Structure 1
Amino acid sequence: MMGRLPPPSSSSSPTLPLLHSYSSSSSSAGTATSLQTLGNIIVSIVGTGVLGLPFAFRIAGWAAGSLGVLFAGVSTYYCMIILVECRDKLVSDGEIDVRTYGDVGFKCLGRAGRYVTESLITVSQCGGAVAYLIFIGQNLSSILAVHGLTSASFIFLLLPLEVLLSWIDSLSALAPFSIFADVCNVLAVAFVVDEDVQQALSGQFSFKDRRAFSRDIRGLPFAGGMAVFCFEGFGMTLALESSMKERGRFPKLLAQAFAGIMSVYVLFGVFGYMAYGDDTKDIVTLNLPKTWTTMAVQIGLCLGLAFTFPIMVHPITEILEEKLRRMAWFKSLHHGGDQDSTKSKRERAVVCLTRGLLIMGLGVLASSVPGFGVFVSLVGSSFCAMMSFVLPATYHLMLMGGRMSGWKRGLDWCVLVGGITFAVYGTYNTIAGI
């Protein structure tokens, strides 16, 4: 994603560019074609994390990093499929108001389920937003070597623009920037691959100099955490499936998309590590030669992310504002008593202030993060792993456990236990590495 679009909250509608409106009924079909859905899957999943994969392969080794990407991809695919099964099971039992991931959590575990699910979505979105700011800050500080201006300085200079953009209620005006960022992302990947091929042809490195596995086991969970972050589009699963005209084709289409994405991730991670070896930086664009072409691509990436940043934080602001609307003091700001009527100026001011404080808080967090790669691995190992593996397996066992065969129930337990183990050890390993 260089411009990955966010998962909807329990009260929002999908915001993917090709995603049409859909009904919550399991039997009703959407209007999106297979090609449109494939495009939405790619936009939902592919994001900033991909530019950190060569660094992960440097830490883990090219073979270990490849295994981490494949394992994370296959596990994410399986959990997306069982989440759809959970929704369909609830709908078949008469629960017609199941539309989002949070709704599934509520039906399984009540308010606690919704709270945990939406909290993980919120924190993972915050992680993605912070990753955007870190990426922009580090790339701008690399390109514009202005004395006294650090990566944190560029982040704080960017925040006023992001606060203003966050006050825009309609996200459709920002959608072209998302596509622009994705194009720049593809160009950046192409430049890295081209650099690798040139070095290979010139004999500047030997494959024997590149480690297949790290010297200790800690490299694998680090790469795994980054890989999980790279596949973090989990919150859009139900919206993507429901948008399809031929919903029965979703599992096969999703498998094809994941096969392609995993192949690209593995090849890009290997190419990037082979090109730069132990000099591979946590954002591989920082390794690119300082030519006008590569700098133009980096600036394009920064611009695209700067204008799609409000899309990333939109689900967070939606959840916060939904909580605000339930508070008595906030209701008193609204004249006329009807929550669907025009907002008062004071109500609007509170909303804008809330969004501004959120953006400033994310900026402070981004400026204090020690590094892009470490942060991405931490978010992927902890919150994304819990959201993508632990919760889907838990809900699936609760809803379908008695009807499943022994091997499938055992597979769910493997995902559940493995997800918890990975989240605990991966989080500890990343923090210990810091």
Structure 2
Amino acid sequence: MVAHLAINIIIFAYCISNASTWAWSKVMFRIDMVEFPIALGIIVFSYTSHIFLPTLEYNLIDRSKFTCMLNWSHVAAALFKSLFGYVGFLTWAEDTEEVITNNLPNPTFKGFVNLILVVKALLSYPLPYYAACEIIEITFFRGRPKTSFPSFWALDGELKVWAIGIRVVVVVFTIMMAISIPHFAILMGLIGSFTGTMLSFIWPCYFHLKIKEGKLEWGDIAYDWFVIFLGFIFGIIGITTSFYALVEAFHIGLPF
């Protein structure tokens, strides 16, 4: 959290310090029908925090405030991301990099900020990592006959050696994915257009309809189906445009 705030403050302060050179003329209030679906996929992907929500709710002191916390967190995140992206574009315009810290001109300063970014990534890793490991354990390793494989845990409550090996494999796999995937922004848009729309639009409404079947007003039902419809539309358009952009990036040899 501290590292994340430090990066945001540094980048934001740098952008503000260059306000005199902001490229106001480059800002255009129009929608690029090719780029927008990719951007939408990235935005949706940045909000796919559903996998962490049960853990967060479980660890709250007052769980009755979970919904309020969730609403205000998403509002604050939306406002900050919009402002951050807008100010960043004003500062660097079309030269804005996928990783915005790469726009910093001084190599030493850039290296320092990227070091903080690495620290932030390392500190942010445990939450999704443990969530992923928990899903793997619940799905495959609860012991027979519940699952096909034996339990991660020994009778004394300690994690088995081979289970530690599986967790190491998860870490190594994610590291290899992170350092080897080219055109990460486009790929993130592609993934976000599929998993993001499913997690953020389609499945929540579908499960809400199923769980509350027979108890919902017609307005709530119509609203859920409308969101599901939007999810399918956004997903199909985003997947198509992102896949096309990814193919084009490889075809013309854009730098990774």
Smaller-chain TM-score range? 0.7 to 0.9
Q: Any idea what the Cα deviations from partners look like across 1:345-400, whole Å, max 9, x if unmatched?
A: xx41x223323333333333333322232232222221122122211100111122
1:354 and 2:171 correspond? no
Q: For 2:93, what is the secondary structure of its paired residue?
A: helix
CA contact (8 A) 1:191 1:294 kept: no
Contact 2:201 2:228 in 1 (8 A): yes
- Selected match of 1:305 from 121, 126, 129: 121
Secondary structure of the structure 2 residue equivalent to 1:340: coil
- Distance in 2 between residues matched to 1:206 and 1:317, nearest whole Å: 45
Does the 8 A contact of 1:282 with 1:371 survive in 2? no
Quote the offset at 1:259 in angstroms.
Answer: 2.1
Which residue of the other structure, out of 135, 152, 165, is the alignment partner of 1:319?
Answer: 135
C-alpha deviations, 1:221-256, integer Å up to 9, x for none? 212111112222222334444555554444334333
| 1:227 pairs with one of 43, 47, 50 | 43
Give the deviation of 1:263 after TM superposition: 1.1
1:271 deviation in Å?
Answer: 0.5
Tell me the equivalent position of 1:169.
none
Q: Equivalent of 2:11, from 192, 199, 202?
A: 192
Q: Which residue of 1 aligns with 2:27?
A: 210
User: Secondary structure at 2:212's aligned position in 1?
Assistant: helix
Aligned: 1:273 with 2:89? yes
CA distance in 2, matches of 1:242, 1:308: 19
| 2:24 partner letter | F
Give the secondary structure class of the aligned counterpart of 1:404.
coil
C-alpha change, 1:304 and 1:266, in structure 2 (3 Å) is closer
For the structure 1 residues 292 and 385, does the alpha-carbon distance in structure 2 shift closer, same or farther, using more than 3 Å as the test?
Answer: same
2:52 to 236, 258, 261: 236
Quote the offset at 1:301 in angstroms. 2.0
Give the counterpart letter for 1:341 in structure 2.
D
Q: 1:187 to 1:291 in 2, by over 3 A?
A: farther
- Residue aligning to 1:138: none
Tell me which amino acid in the other structure corresponds to 1:206. A
User: Residue 119 of structure 2 aligns to which amino acid in structure 1?
Assistant: L
Extract unaligned runs of 5+ from structure 1. Answer: 1-181
Once residues 209 and 65 of structure 2 are traced to their aligned partners in structure 1, the CA distance between those partners, rounded to angstroms, is: 24
- CA distances 1:153-194 after superposition (whole Å, capped 9, x unpaired): xxxxxxxxxxxxxxxxxxxxxxxxxxxxx2222222223223
Please report the RMSD computed on the Cα atoms of aligned residues, expressed in angstroms.
Answer: 2.9
Check whether the contact 1:389–1:415 (CA below 8 A) recurs between aligned residues.
yes
The question of 1:379 aligning with 2:195 is answered no
Equivalent pair of 1:401/1:409 in contact (CA under 8 Å): no
Partner of 1:285: 101
Q: Does the CA-based 8 Å contact 1:321-1:351 persist in structure 2? A: no
TM-score, scaled to structure 2: 0.80
Letter in 1 for 2:35: G
Query: Structure 2 CA distance, aligned partners of 1:400 and 1:429?
Result: 35
Q: Aligned letter for 2:211?
A: L
Name stretches of at least 5 consecutive residues in structure 2 with no aligned partner: 247-256
Contact 2:190 2:239 in 1 (8 A): yes
Distance 1:361 1:396, change over 3 A: same
| Counterpart-to-counterpart distance in 1, 2:119 and 2:143 | 36
Write the deviation string for residues 259-286 of structure 1: whole angstroms up to 9, x where unpaired.
Answer: 2221111100101111111101111011
The alignment-based identity, stated in percent, is: 21
Judging changes above 3 Å, is the alpha-carbon distance between structure 1 residues 339 and 352 closer, same or farther for their aligned structure 2 residues?
A: closer
Q: Against the structure 1 CA distance between its residues 221 and 303, is the aligned structure 2 distance closer, same or farther, given a 3 Å change threshold?
A: same
